[in-house]
Every structure is written in structure tokens, then in C-alpha cells.
Amino acid sequence: MHESMKKSYAWMLVMGLFIVHPALAQETNALDFDGFDDKVTVPGASALITSGTGISLTCWAYPVNTAPAFPDFDGFAGLRDDFTADFYLLQIAPANTVEGRFRNSSGQAFTLAHAGLVVNTWQFLALTYNGSQLSLNINGVTVASTPANGAIASNFVDLFIGNVYYQGTDFLLHGRVDEVSLWNRALNPNEISCIYNSGIDVSDSGLQLYYKMDQGTGGGNNAGITSLLPSKGSINGALEGFVLSGGASNFVTSPAVGTTLSATLCPGEVYTFNGQQLTAAGVYGASLPSGSACDSVVILNLSFSSVNTQLSNTGGVLTSLAEGDYWQWLDCNNGHAEIPGAIGQQYAPVQSGSYAVEVTQFNCTDTSACAEVIITGSAEAPVQGLVKVYPNPAQDRVWVELGREAGSRLLMVEDAFGRCIAKVRTSGESTVEIPLTGMAAGLYVVRARSAGAEQVLRLLKQ
């Protein structure tokens, strides 16, 4: 959205009220004018405002001319023949000054000038005439007004965008324009404020022309585009002078009108956006018609976040390759039941089986495929009397309890890669201490060997 339009969207997400559209194929664009020969002409547009109760002209404008001086004024949009039909918005000198003018069919002109324009900034401009008063509004606030009278009767005056014509001279805009609208009634201040904050309701009967500039690819090759197409109305605008390629004199990416929010779709999830079940990443739009000139528009940028569920299996020790936030190891042979306490990046099963890990990464959770682990030796020929390793988890030392009938044993502590970190040979002791000082935190294997038999226990070092 334009920077000044950042509003809370929470109140908008009311189930059942929005019209939700599928993913949009086009970017939100504006039209960039180079100030030399770029202009848009909408022929005979004045015929659309001759039978209404007033006139309104609105647009988003981004002027860049820091020193406008005649004849280098910058026209944003409007009608002008200097005789019977003027209704336009124009940047004049000094650079912070915007001029709005209404000239009736009798040739009488009413002019407003306000020093509130900001160069190199998006701002919303609105000029309205209600039959008795001409008003200028910037960013949803009325900044100037003057009594006015009469009407425009001419049916043959063109609407200019990025230009205002004056007695043989084009006041060509150096800057950008977006969301140009022409109405055959006067918008009231509340409606203007709503449009500024949310967007235009194209179903409003007073709206005669509306150009969103959302054509082509922002900053891309748009050489095949010759006309500016209306989102409301039936008169195309003729594009003149545009390069239509690159970051200037072309359709360019612009902040969206309305409220923009972003969300992440996790693997296997369904994202609910105003009652619609979304399963694919994309850009989605929703609108809430207010019944009076403006819509509440929400644009959802839905991205997909993948989770790394790859595993390595080294020496019977499983390692999640995800740099995640949380891990929970699962027993695949027990309906993927959670294994109590197995919440680290590594897991060393104490018995053969099939295991998986549930990884939480980037606020998304996904589960790996099951990995088979075969523990050899311990089941077929266990070491006589080996009871337990404690404490487990351990910190600086651990005790291995061998039982009262323990004979000569070789005790080894191996890391996840099968490397021997510590080795102790016993000679009949029932309990043996193994120091863990200097060992990194993680999972280890304690092996007890005797006469060709082996038993394996898993140890967690903190």
C-alpha cells in the first residue's frame, strides 16, 4: 500500500463479508512519466460528467520536479480547454504547490492553490465540485475550498493523465501517477477519506472512469501495450511517448492501494482467508464494498515455507539435518508415537526399529520419512550384568553400573560419528566412573564388551 495507508487489517477479516478473488496475475503498478513526451489522452471524457450533480477527480501522485516554472509545470490529471471545460490537478511553482481549477461552460474559472504538495512522496489528491463549492483534498483532508457555480456542458474535451494542456503547451509530468478516477458527482469528505485509506468501489454509479495502471510487468518489457485500460468505464487512454521498458517511462511496480498483509503456508496446511481454503502460495485479494464510493481492500501475500526433513543415520545415531527450533522423535512402529525426552537434533535408539523426527522450523512443523535402525550385538549376546548408565542426561561424569557379577569389561564412549571419545577397562568392579570433561554436549553411545559380547546404552551429555 502507499506508505500513508498502513492501517490495521484485523477488523476487515470478517468471515463472509469479503469477495475473495483468486491469485492475481499482475503486479500492483503505477505509470511513470519522464517529463519530456510521456502522456495519456482519454478522448471525449468530458461527456461523462455533463449530466451529473457535480464532478470529482482523484489520483495518487508522486511528483519529482523540485523546481517547476512555466512552461515546465507538471500536470497530474484533468480536463482543460481554457474556454468552457477545465477541471484539473497541476503542480506549479514553488514545487510544494498544487493547483486545482474548475471552469464552467460560461468560461468562468475558479482556482485553488495549496502549498502542501510533497516532492518524491506518494500522496492522494482529490478535487471536487458540488455545484456551489470547489474543494481540494490531500491525503484525506480538505486543505482548500472556494465558492463556485455553473456546470461543464462540453462533450468533446479530453481527459489528460500525466499532462495538462494549456494553449498549445503540454504541462508534462515528471513523476508517477496511479489510481486515476473521474466521477459525475461530488465525493464528500468521508468518502474521500475512505478511498484514501482503502480504495475505490467500482460499483458506485457515480464513478465514470477509473484507471488502476495495473497493466504489464512493473519495470519489464511492455512494448506491446498501446492503451491504458479502464477498470471502470469504456474509454481507453492512448499512451504517447512511453519507452515501456525499464524503470522509467513505463509501468513500474507501486505500493498497493488498500491494506496488505503477509502470511506463511506451512507444509500440509490450509490457510483460511475469509472463508476460502487456500493451499497454494500466491497473491489473493478481498474487498468489502461499503456502498458509498470506497471499498475496504485487503491483499494477502501468501508464501510457502518448506521444512528440512532430511535425516542422516551414522552408526545407529539419527541426526536431523534441519537447523530447526524444536525436534520431537517418533516411533514409527508404534503409530508415530512421541518418544519421551527425545527432543534433540540427534537421537540414538536403544533398540532396533523405525524412527522419524517431527521438526519445527520457521514456525512450521513437518515430519521426516521413517529411518530403519538396527542395533547389533546387544540383543543376541548381552554383557552379563550390565544394568544402567547414570545420571542420564549427564554433565561432567557418568557412572556405569555393571552388577555384582561383573568381570573384566571394556567400556567405550563413542560420539555420533563412531569415534571413540573415552575408554575404560574394568577388572571386576560393579560400578565404574567415566569422566566427560571436555566433551561437547550431544548424544553418545556407551559400549560394554566382554568375550565377544556387547551391550549398547545411549547417553545424553548436557
Tell me, what CATH number does 435's domain have? 2.60.40.3080
> Are 262 and 117 members of one domain?
no
Residue 124 belongs to a domain with what CATH number? 2.60.120.200
Q: CA-CA distance, 455 to 364, in Å (whole number)?
A: 38
- Expressed as residue numbers, the domain containing 444 is 388-461
The full length of the chain comes to: 462
> Are 206 and 285 members of one domain?
no
Q: Quick check: bond before 230 cis, omega within 30?
A: no
> Are 292 and 436 members of one domain?
no
Tell me if residue 176 falls in helix, strand or coil: strand
H helices present in 309-383, as ranges: none
> Are 56 and 180 members of one domain?
yes
> Are 79 and 196 members of one domain?
yes
Q: In terms of DSSP bridges, do strands 174-183 and 55-63 run parallel, antiparallel, or are they unpaired? A: antiparallel
Closest CA to 103 of 112, 94, 95: 112
> Are 361 and 417 members of one domain?
no
Backbone torsion region of residue 60, taken as left when φ is above 0, otherwise alpha when ψ lies between -120 and 50, otherwise beta = beta
Each residue's pLDDT expressed in tens, for the chain with a length of 462 residues = 443 332 222 333 333 333 333 333 335 899 999 999 999 999 999 999 999 899 999 999 999 999 999 999 999 999 999 999 999 999 999 999 999 999 999 999 999 999 999 999 999 999 999 999 999 999 999 999 999 999 999 999 999 999 999 999 999 999 999 999 999 999 999 999 989 988 898 889 899 999 999 999 999 999 999 999 999 999 999 999 999 999 999 999 987 766 777 888 888 888 888 778 888 888 786 665 555 676 666 778 888 888 899 998 877 788 899 887 789 999 999 999 998 878 888 888 878 899 999 999 888 889 999 999 887 643 333 445 555 788 878 888 888 887 655 567 788 888 766 678 888 888 777 788 888 888 888 878 787 777 666 677 778 888
Q: Is residue 14 part of a domain?
A: no
Q: CA-CA distance, 194 to 189, in Å (whole number)?
A: 9
Q: Is residue 411 part of a domain?
A: yes
> Are 399 and 334 members of one domain?
no
- In Å, how far are 18, 32, 125, 134, 158 from 185, measured between CA atoms? 26, 28, 16, 12, 18
Which residue among 257, 292, 326 closes a domain? 257
> Are 363 and 427 members of one domain?
no
Q: Is residue 57 part of a domain?
A: yes
* Cell 521438526, located at residue: 359
What pLDDT is recorded for position 219? 96
Q: Is residue 381 part of a domain?
A: no
> Are 96 and 202 members of one domain?
yes
> CB atoms < 10 A from the CB of 267, how many?
13
> Are 347 and 266 members of one domain?
no
Q: Is residue 107 part of a domain?
A: yes
Q: Write the DSSP symbol of residue 200.
A: B
Tally of domains in the chain: 4
> Are 115 and 77 members of one domain?
yes
First to last CA, the chain: 49
pTM of the full predicted structure? 0.62
Classify residue 9 as exposed, middle or buried by CB count within 10 Å of its CB (0-12, 13-18, 19+).
middle
> Are 77 and 173 members of one domain?
yes
